[in-house]
Amino acid sequence: MRIFLILFFCGTIFASCSSVIPTLSFDNVGIVKSNYPDFTKEDFILARDAFITRCSGCHNLPSPKTHTKYEWKALLPEMLNDSKATENEKELITKFIISFSKN
C-alpha cells in the first residue's frame, strides 16, 4: 500500500505545477474583456468559482480548451440547467468558458 501513497503524492505534486482552469490575472481578465467589454475582475472571480462549484458537482472539470466556442454554446445550456445554476451564474460561466475555448 505504501507504493500507492508514494505514487499518489508524486503524481499530485507533479500535477500541481499548473491548473487547466484559468486563474485570476490581468491577462486572463483581459482575454474575457476582449469578448465581453463589460466583464470585470469581480465577474471573473464569480465566474471561476461558479464554474468550479456547479460543473464539478456532476463530473470532473473539463478544460475550457476541450471544445470550440460553437461546441460549448451547444453543450452548455442543458448542463447548466441540470446544475441548477442561477441565471447570473449561467451567464458568467458561459462567458468564462467561451473566452478560453479552443480556437
Partner 1 sequence: MIHQKNSNSPMLYLLALILFAFVFANTSISNERKFSYTYESNVLPKRVREIEIWNTSRIARSYFFRRLDQRVEYEIGLGNNLQTAFYLNLTNELKDDNGVTAGGSISRKTNVGFSNEWKYKISDNVADPIGFALYSEFTFYPHETEYEGKLLFDKKIDNTLFALNLVYELENKYDFKNGIEVKSQENIFEIDFGASYSFTHNFSVGLEAVNKNSLLENKINNSVLFLGPSISYSTENFWVVATYLPQVKALKGATSGNLNLNSYERSLARILFAFEL
CB 75 within 8 A of CB 67: yes
Alpha helices in 16-101 (DSSP H): 26-35, 41-50, 56, 69-82, 87-99
Stretch near partner 1 under the rule CB under 8 A, chosen from 26-34, 35-43, 46-54, 90-98: 46-54
Stretch near partner 1 under the rule CB under 8 A, chosen from 24-32, 33-41, 80-88, 91-99: 80-88
CB-nearer residue toward partner 1: 50 or 98: 50
Stretch near partner 1 under the rule CB under 8 A, chosen from 2-10, 24-32, 36-44, 93-101: 2-10
Helix/strand/coil for 97: helix
Is there binding between residue 48 and partner 1 (CB under 8 A)? yes
Torsion sign across C-alpha atoms 92, 94, 97, 98: negative
Distance CA 30, CA 58 (A): 29
Is there binding between residue 52 and partner 1 (CB under 8 A)? yes
Residues that bind partner 1 (CB under 8 A): 1, 4-5, 7-8, 11-12, 14-16, 19-21, 48, 52-54, 56-61, 63, 78-79, 81-85
